[in-house]
Amino acid sequence: MTTPHATVHDLVGIGIGPFNLSLAALAHPLPALRTAFYDRRPHFTWHPGLLLDDATLQVPFLADLVTLADPTSPWTFLNHLRARERLYPFYFAEHFHIRRTEYDAYCRWVADHLPALHFGHHVDTVRWNPERALFEAEFIRPAPDGGGVVAGRVDARNVVLGVGTEPWTPEPFRPLAGTPGPLVVHSDDYLSHRATLLAAGHITVIGTGQSGAEIYLDLLRHRPTGQERLHWIGRTEAFAPMEYSKLGLEHFTPDHTRYFHALPEPVRDRLVPAQWQLHKGIDAATIAAIHDELYRRTLEGGWPDTVLTPAVHVRTARRTGRAGIELGLEHTRQRTRTRLTTDAVVLATGHRARPLDRLLAPLEPHLRRDRAGRPRIDAHFRLVLDRAVTGSVYVQNAELHTHGVGTPDLGLAAWRSATILNHLTGRRVYALPARTAFTTFGLLPPTPEVPPARRSTRLGALADGTPRHP
C-alpha cells in the first residue's frame, strides 16, 4: 500500500536532530513556504545515553535553535522557560551554560509544537524526477492498525539532509560490540548500561574527549575509595582542555566558516585535524572536577586505584575466557607495548558522519565529488549537482571538510538554518550580520552572502516576499 503524495512541498527535511529542528522552527513563521520534516525515530531524542545529571552544554544557552538568527522567535530557549513558568528560577540560577537534560527538554518542547514534523517515518531513498522537476523521497512508516508498515512518497522542490552522525566503533572492538560476553558499550548507550558497568570489577574508558571525561568522572564518583579499578586511556597527547578563549571561540563564527570554505581543498584537509582542540578537548570545569575527586581520595593516604594515560593506541581487543577482555596497548610516543585485562569497556570514541550513499544512490550520476571522493558542498550548504537538477539538496552537519570545525557546533545552527532559508527563498527573510568576529581571517575582508534572485523552479508561487526584519 502506498500513501497519497499529491502535495508538493517547497522543502522536505530528512532527519530531525537539533539542526533540522532549528530549520523547521525558523521556517514555521513563513506561511507561504510548504515544509515537512521526517525522522525514523518515534519522537525527538538527543544523545539520551549521555544525559548525565551534571553534564552541561559547551555553548551558552543563547546557542539555542533560533536566537542567534531571530531573538524574537517564539521558539527561543527563554520563551520555553516562560511557557513552563521557569523564567524567574532560571534568572536567579545564573546558568549561562545549561544542563544537557534541560537542552533536551527544550528541543522536545519545540518539536511537540511544530506541525511540520513527522516522526516514525524512515526515508530510505531520494531521487530526482526530471520530467516533474521534483525530488521524490520514499519512506516507510508503521501502519495505523499496528500491523506491518505502510510505504509512502513525498514530493519536494528542495531537500535538506540532517541525518546526523552515528557512533564510531574502532576496528579492534567491532567483533565484540553488541555481542554476548564481556560488556563493550559505546558512550551513546552509557546510561542504559550504567548499572551493569558499575557492577564490573574493572572498567576501561577509551577516549580523551568530553564524553570520555564525563563518563570517567561519573564512574569514579560511584566507585569506593581505594577500590576504583578504573583505566582511562586515549590517543591524544594529553587530557587537554578545549580552547575556550574569547578570540579562540571566533573560529565558531560565520566569518571563519566563509574564510574556511574559500580555502583550497588541500589546505582545508590539513587544517581540520590541526584544530582538534577547538572542539575535541575537555571542558576545563570537567578537568577540574576530575582532579578534585582524585585529590579527595588521597586524604586518608595512598592513591586511588585508577590509571589515566594519554597517547595510548588500542591495537587489539579479544575475549579472555567468559568474563574478560584483553587489550593490546601501544604508547604512540614511546613505541612501547603492553596488555591490559579488563571486565568492561566504554568506547568514548566519538561519531562519524552518517553515510549518505544509500540514501542518495539515485542521485549519484548528478553528484559532484572532490578529489577524496567526498560530496562537494557550496557556500549555501548545497550539494553540488549537475545543471540537470534544478532543485537544491542542502546539508546540515555533513560539511566538515568544506566548512570547518564549526560544522557540528550548536552555536552556528540558527545562522546556517537562516542562510539556507534566505537562499531557498531568494530573499533576506532573516537579516544576518555582515561581520561576526573581531578576528579578520585572511588578508582580504569577508564578502557578505547575498541571496540570489528567486527562481520559480525553487519555490513555485511563494507569495510572501517581504523580509521578516528591516
Average pLDDT, the chain: 91
Q: Are 320 and 138 in contact (CB under 8 A)?
A: no
Q: Do domains 8-164+354-459 and 168-242+283-350 have the same CATH topology?
A: yes
pLDDT (0 to 100) of residue 156: 98
pLDDT at 462: 42
Q: Tell me what pLDDT residue 467 has.
A: 34
Whole-number pLDDT of residue 458: 46
- Per-residue buried b or exposed e for 346-381, using 16+ beta carbons within 10 Å of the residue's own CB: bbbbbbebeebeebbeebeebbeeeeeebbbbbebb
The domain locations on the chain are: 8-164+354-459, 168-242+283-350
Residue 417: count of CB within 10 angstroms of its CB? 30
Q: Which CATH number fits domain 8-164+354-459: 1.10.150.20, 3.40.30.10, 3.50.50.60, 3.30.300.30?
A: 3.50.50.60
Mean pLDDT of the 437-450 span:
78
Q: 11 by DSSP, 3-state: which?
A: strand
Q: What is the mean pLDDT of residues 383-408?
A: 96
Please tell me the pTM assigned to this model.
0.92
Mean pLDDT over residues 236-261, rounded? Answer: 95
Average pLDDT, integer, range 435-462: 65
Residues 6+ apart with CB under 8 A from 445: none
Angstrom distance (rounded) from CA 307 to CA 429: 54
Mode of pairing for the β-strands spanning 393-395 and 159-161: parallel
Closest CA to 255 of 409, 64, 406, 401: 406
CATH code for the structural domain at 168-242+283-350: 3.50.50.60
